Amino acid sequence: MSFFKKLGASIGIGSAKVDTKLEKSAYYAGEQIKGQVEVYGGNVEQQINAIYLTLNTTYIKEVDDSKITASTAIQKFKVCDPFIVSANETKIIPFSFVIPFDVPITVGKTEVWVATELDIKSGLDSGDRDYIDIRPSKIASRILEEFQQLGFKMRQVECKQASYKYRGNYPFSQEFEFVPTSGAFRGKLDELEIVFISQTESSAEILMQVDRKARGLGGFLAEALDADETHVKMTITQQDLQTLGQQFRQIISQYS
């Protein structure tokens, strides 16, 4: 084996490359992802220490009074143990993993992707990035639909840096902002915000923020002091779905 080939591979020239191929590009939260990692040998034989897949997302973070887009890992998986890939050899390694139920959905500027990391002995890491669309789980979808049935229109969805109190498993929370455009709450509320704190296949914990419409000077002062905002935390199970619209209506009416 040529010394110059060894040296080239150690600095990333002619070393092994990786390409991850997913079964599809759109998934529901809680669904299983299947695919394969294809490893292409470079100019020389190399040892691969491990292959890792990481599910990542973006969120808005405040730094020195400025808003920046940050990224964070949702979950990381080890695909395989160490192996040798020969020069110009192709190895195909299948994998599967389950997307967490509390992964943010890809609405607005929120992105989700699978990053592949090829850990090569005595060489530079080689990587790959595959963007995917995430759709809400069945229970999350039902919750969001119920608000629209009550006359609310979804105005904005954002992943934002969150306090420890409401962020769940990650340093962010995804906020769903609704405005009343028809029905009983039009003219009574400014907006309604929903945050999914945690989710499983059969339940979801949400935080609902009800922003009442300011009325007159007293309303203006109350709004300035955030007194017109009410936060309601509730856990919704499959058994609640039949009467969910009625529950939401009663809660919103109580604070509007």
Within the chain, which residue ranges are assigned CATH 2.60.40.640? 3-135
State the Cα torsion 8-12-16-20 to the nearest 10°.
Answer: -170
- Topology of 3-135 in CATH? Immunoglobulin-like (2.60.40)
Residue located via tokens 């007159």:
216
- Burial of 204 per CB tally in 10 Å (0-12, 13-18, 19+): buried
Alpha-carbon distance of 121 to 37, in angstroms, equals 18
* Per-residue confidence (pLDDT) for residue 219, from 0 to 100: 41
Q: Which helix (H) or strand (E) holds 233?
A: strand 229-237
- Burial of 235 per CB tally in 10 Å (0-12, 13-18, 19+): exposed
Q: Which helix (H) or strand (E) holds 77?
A: strand 66-80
- Burial of 42 per CB tally in 10 Å (0-12, 13-18, 19+): buried
Per-residue CA distances from 60 to 56, 157, 180 (Å): 14, 12, 25
CB atoms within 10 A of CB 157: 18
Q: Which helix (H) or strand (E) holds 145?
A: helix 138-149
Pairing of strands 126-135, 26-28: parallel
Instruction: Give me the DSSP letters along 6-31.
Output: HHHHHTTSS--EEEEEES-SEEETTP
Q: What is the pLDDT along the chain (256 residues), one digit of tens a residue?
A: 443 333 333 334 457 888 999 999 999 999 999 999 999 998 888 889 999 999 999 999 988 888 899 999 999 999 999 999 999 999 999 999 999 999 999 998 899 999 999 888 655 556 789 999 999 999 999 999 999 999 999 999 999 988 655 556 788 999 999 999 988 888 888 899 999 988 999 999 999 999 876 544 344 434 444 446 788 999 999 999 999 999 999 999 987 7
Whole-structure pTM over 0.75, yes or no? yes
